[in-house]
Amino acid sequence: MEKLAIFDVDYTITKRETLFEFFMFLISKKPKLILHIPKSFGASLLYAIRLMTAADAKRYFMSFVRNIHENELKELVKEFYDKRLSKIFYVDAIDTMKKLKGEGCKIYLISASAEFYLNELYNIKEVDKIIGTKFKFTDGYYSGEIIGENNKGEEKVRRLMEVLKEENIEVDFKNSYMYSDSLSDLPLLKLVGHPYLINSKKKKENIEILNWK
């Protein structure tokens, strides 16, 4: 049986929110995208005051990639990783991945962020699997639709189990690990024998809090 070390991404292995970082990176490459700020940040505000679901807010926010062809987007995503994303990792997160990989764990990153740019995190050699929110592209362009559900909360567990079944992997969850900054990941935290909250001010049950830098 395999042991997993599961990591959320935003504010768990990264110091900042990756979608916002991606948006700001694209604005630096394509200044006209600044016109999307009212729509994208309006969606974020509506989500913050609970007038819009997380999935709907994400769809609206992601409108800034609508007119970028998938082939160009792939190149931009590579540059985003090199110039921005790779610069905001917590050193402690990467060190923990290396340690647990050395102890025989498979390293899984499971996030609500967009899988099409999170896939660049395979550049971290310890990472075995990335599971993020999938977005639909039609004729090479972002359609504004999420494939399936927003990968958050219970959906993360469902997607993980789906992947494990597809790949015929049996897991020793009692001896597995989960790291997250948020109690929204409680379904995954409860799944493993070694759950940890990262830089959290809210303690839940017996989940140990780690302070990563």
Please enumerate in sequence order all residues whose Cβ is within 8 A of that of 8, keeping only pairs 6 or more positions apart, or say none: 109, 110, 111, 179, 180, 181, 182, 185, 198
Which residue from 23, 63, 67, 17 is spatially nearest to 43, judged by alpha carbons? 63
- Residue 144, pLDDT above cutoff 80: no
> 74 is written with which tokens?
């792939």
Q: Rounded to the nearest 5°, which phi and psi values hold at 192?
A: -110, 165
- Residue 147, pLDDT above cutoff 80: yes
| Inter-residue contact 25 to 120 (CB < 8 Å) | no
The 8-class DSSP code of residue 72 comes to H
Q: Which tens digits make up the pLDDT trace of 31-58?
A: 887 776 666 666 666 666 776 677 776 7
Rounded distance between C-alpha atoms, residue 29 and residue 12, angstroms: 27
Angle between helix 18-29 and 70-83 (nearest 10)? 110
| pLDDT level of residue 209 (50, 70, 90 thresholds) | very high
* Neighbouring C-alpha atoms within 13 Å toward the C-beta of 141: 7
Give pLDDT, residue 148.
87
Q: Which tens digits make up the pLDDT trace of 98-142?
A: 999 999 999 999 999 999 999 999 999 999 999 999 988 889 888
Question: What's the sign of the alpha-carbon dihedral 33, 123, 11, 85?
Answer: negative
Q: Which tens digits make up the pLDDT trace of 59-112?
A: 666 778 888 899 999 999 999 999 999 999 999 999 999 999 999 999 999 999
State mean pLDDT over 163-170.
96
| Inter-residue contact 136 to 66 (CB < 8 Å) | no
Instruction: Domains for the chain: give ranges and CATH numbers.
Output: 3-210 (3.40.50.1000)
